[in-house]
Chains A and B, each alone.
Chain A
Amino acid sequence: MSSTLAGWLQALALVGALALCYRPLGDYIAHLLTSAKHWRAERCLYKVVGVDGDAYQRWTAYLRSVLAFSVASVLFLYGFIRLQNHLLLSLGVPQMSPHQAWNTAVSFTTNTNWQSYSGESAMGHLVQMAGLAVQNFVSAAVGIAVVATLIRGFTRSKTDRVGNFWVDVTRICLRLLLPVSIVFALVLVANGVVQNFHGFHDIAALGGGTEGIPGGPVASQEAIKELGTNGGGFFNANSAHPFENPTGFTNWLEIFLLLVISFSLPRTFGRMVGDNRQGYAIVAVMGLFWVASAALITLAESHHSGSALQAAGGAMEGKEQRFGIAASSLFAASTTLTSTGAVNSFHDSFTPFGGGITIFNMMLGEIAPGGTGSGLYGMLILAIVAVFVAGLMVGRTPEYLGKKLGGREMKFASLYILTTPAIVLIGTGIATALPGERAGMLNSGPHGFSEVLYAFTSAANNNGSAFAGLTVNTPWYDTALGLAMAFGRFLPMIFVLALAGSLAKQQPVPASAGTLPTHKPLFVGLLSGVVLIVVGLTYFPALALGPIAEGLH
């Protein structure tokens, strides 16, 4: 079979598998977000935690719960990491510096999983499984919980209550993420991913010398790392490491896992608002960008432009033989379009345009399909903007799903859209202006600038992948990128929750002949255009200085 045909088949198989999951998984998530019934185990848990599982919260109370849970998570994880060398299963790793521990704690709490440390030398097994992997679950759940409030904003009327944070997070963790993770962790082990509590196990290697075989609870972490669009590798090489991703099949499975929830959530949305066609329109836009991006990266990598890659005769630098160009490109497109950031190949060594598209993917705002929950709320904000733009064209107060989009709603949507680019561009600007931070670049010229641009784009969009040549374990980068991750996660959430509260208060208006239908191909095209124009106009100058300058050179 030719490589091209195999490349197409793996993508088609992925589309098929995701399409099969769309309805059942989306409906299941809608059910768990709306059901009035608690499991007995959940009732016990609510009693222990001390919450009333039947009371809905105002958006302000919901927001306070989100922030309190995240603050508790950052502090707990920070303490855990700083103290890990005194705990069980620490494998004798040295104590982590305060700035790196801050960076790591924020990174995992915000679903970013940016890693300025390398797993095998800086983290013991206990902190990986009971610290980092726990955040892999709960940060993914927080994202889905927040989008649930936005959907409830459309479905509920004349109320100030948008949901119960504690119930939403508990159900998403226990009913969705945990069972799926158990199943796929076992599938990964069956294909070679390790799962044990050993430290490095020294053996006399065939080729001479001693080889330390690493161990750890890797498969259990790998499953949720992908499923929850987290992306933080157990090992430094992330999903390129053969113990995290041993075969072509596990590679395909990991891509599937990191896409499946975010691609199914539009169904949840359609289901909850009582019109499945609305979900199809949203998923169509997500799918369009994903297909285009995967195709363009594969094309760029197949043509291996760049002086060093031309001399090598192919873009295999930083890529694994068992994956090759097509599987690496598909992974790269999927991981940067979701907020995952796991990598099976190193983007810093991609072709100028291939690597540039990974940056552009993140700049889209992680919406196609985006992180668990955060992808859908990002896309819904852009849908609101698209409806507003259409409303301006015909001079009519815009409405989306029966809710009027007035000044208050548009202010929140605009603030959402402005936040991340502001963090990215200001952060990149400051870093490039500082000589010490410029020295952190591994590569020179436009590619060095791309490394810094990638870092801030990845942090502010909570992706977590990197042009990994940049030296980021410095007090400045750890602190600055930590702030970028925190603001990039929580400011947008504040605007989404405020918007949810504002929408829920409204009385729905009946659709009339003048209402823009938001389930037709026209709207899919309009929304895609808005996404491209908003992102393109914001980031074009920065992209021109980095990947475009390098690619056209």
Chain B
Amino acid sequence: MSKPLPASVRTHWTALRLLLVMTAILGIAYPLLVTGLSQLAFADKANGSIVTSDGKEVGSSLLGQNFNLPKKNPDDPNEQAQPDPRWFQPRPSAAKYDPHGSAAGNLGPNSDDLLKAVNDNRAAIAAFDGVDPATVPVDAITASGSGLDPHISAAYAKEQVARVAKTRNLSADTVDQLVDKYTEGRSLGFLGQAGVNVVLLNKALSEQR
């Protein structure tokens, strides 16, 4: 080069080169390394904790699902999905349990819309499960943060036992024991909150002969 570039241009050129080197190290090599090691050591978890039933993939143990009746008219986008009484029902979801669009409702603590949703949910669930509206637990009537919450409280699971047992012709004891089996305590005994994994519980239920 015959003439050196002006200082400001040189600084930007240096900056761009550092950014490109960092992109190669931190943006390409790092995720590839972590992916390689994860796939070697924890392939099942790294690929989404998929659960299978009769050899078929039926979901992820970490992602909640809808357990609704089939739509009467599958082409009608306005038809409200109705919960299927044969399954344990998950929490309300702003994302309708579609992992393509995880989302929360974002309604405020004094929102009239939220107040209405909470009251409607309480009435509908109490009628559906045949219980006193006052006993419906809070997680059953509020939407989660992700819209994909796989858990419900043990109280909400217990509330659903009688209905599920009846519609499936199982004894309430059998269903009750399954609920206990799929109740997960806090991590390490003190981190987070206990809950019942609805996907795993329903899978176990579907495998009852």
Contacts and interface: CB of A to CB of B under 8 A. Distances in A.
Are A and B co-members of a single complex?
yes
Interface of A: 1, 3, 5-6, 9-10, 13, 45, 48-51, 64-65, 68-69, 71-73, 76, 118, 120-121, 129-131, 133-134, 137-138, 166, 169-170, 173-174, 178, 181-182, 185-186, 189-198, 200-201, 203-209, 211-215, 217, 219-221, 235-237, 240-243, 246-249, 251-252, 304-309, 311-328, 343-346, 348-352, 355, 442-443, 445, 447, 467-469, 550, 553
Interface stretch (B100-108, B124-132, B160-168, B170-178): B100-108
Contacts of B179: none
A9 B108 contact: no
A173 B25 CA distance: 10
Interface of B: 7-8, 11-19, 21-23, 25-28, 30-31, 33-35, 37-39, 41-42, 45-50, 53, 56-60, 62-68, 70, 84, 87, 91, 95, 97-112, 114-115, 117-119, 122, 137-139, 141-153, 184, 186-193, 195, 199, 202-203, 206
Contacts of A447: 108-111
A133 B206 contact: no
Contact of B143 (A13, A318, A550): A318
A190 B143 contact: no
Nearest to A214: B99
Given A208-B68, A346-B106, A242 B17 contact: no
Given A134-B22, A247-B187, A249-B188, A320 B149 contact: yes
Contacts of B56: 204
Contacts of B101: 118, 120-121, 236
A212 B104 contact: no
B63 A213 contact: yes
Contact of B62 (A6, A76, A207, A246): A246
A241 B48 CA distance: 12
A550 B16 CA distance: 48
A73 B19 contact: yes
Contacts of B110: 306-308, 352, 445, 447, 550, 553
Nearest to A203: B57
Contacts of B105: 317-318, 346, 349
A68 B10 CA distance: 10
Contacts of B91: 321
B15 A68 contact: yes
A166 B139 contact: no
A248 B18 contact: no
B186 A242 contact: no
A151 B90 CA distance: 53
Contact of B59 (A1, A203, A249, A317): A203
